[in-house]
Amino acid sequence: MDLETYLRALPKAELHLHIEGTLEPELMFALAARNGVALPWASVEETRAAYAFSDLQSFLDLYYAGAAALIHEQDFFDLAMAYFERAHADGVVHAELFFDRRPTPRAASPSRPCSTAWSVRVVKPRRAGASARA
């Protein structure tokens, strides 16, 4: 077995992961369209290119643009589920997630969406044989 195969097979843990930072371009565009949020990029491909960060500010610009599309409980649920599916495929068996508590201007109830994300965070990984901690 080569080193890459060995490393990919090892169980992994993700510590201090901000869930908004896992938002991928396809889901960002879907959420923005669903919620009527304008993004600064014209396409998924343009957004993906923005992931080649040149500095901290370019990362933060992308992070906050994506976070602005997270408005409703379903948005946080969809984000959490997308993360868990990717994490499971990557062999993550334990994740400690965080979310940005600053409400977005359009969020109807900033605390409500978080409850679903936290519930999904604990329940879904356990179904897949992983652990989670609140």
Instruction: Find the domain containing 55 and state its range.
Output: 3-132
User: 125 or 26: which carries more pLDDT confidence?
Assistant: 26
Decide: residue 19, CB within 10 A, 0-12 exposed, 13-18 middle, 19+ buried: buried
Q: Decide if pLDDT at 5 tops 60.
A: yes
Structure tokens belonging to residue 15: 């510590």
Residue that is written with structure tokens 């500010």 in the block: 57
Structure tokens belonging to residue 118: 């936290």
* 33 vs 128: CA distance, rounded Å: 31
* CATH label of the domain that carries residue 38: 3.20.20.140
Within 10 Å of residue 71's Cβ, how many Cβ atoms? 24
Q: Decide if pLDDT at 110 tops 50.
A: no
Count of domains in the chain?
A: 1
Interval 83-109: pLDDT, tens: 999 998 899 998 888 877 655 555 544
Interval 37-60: pLDDT, tens: 999 999 999 999 999 999 999 999
This prediction's pTM: 0.75
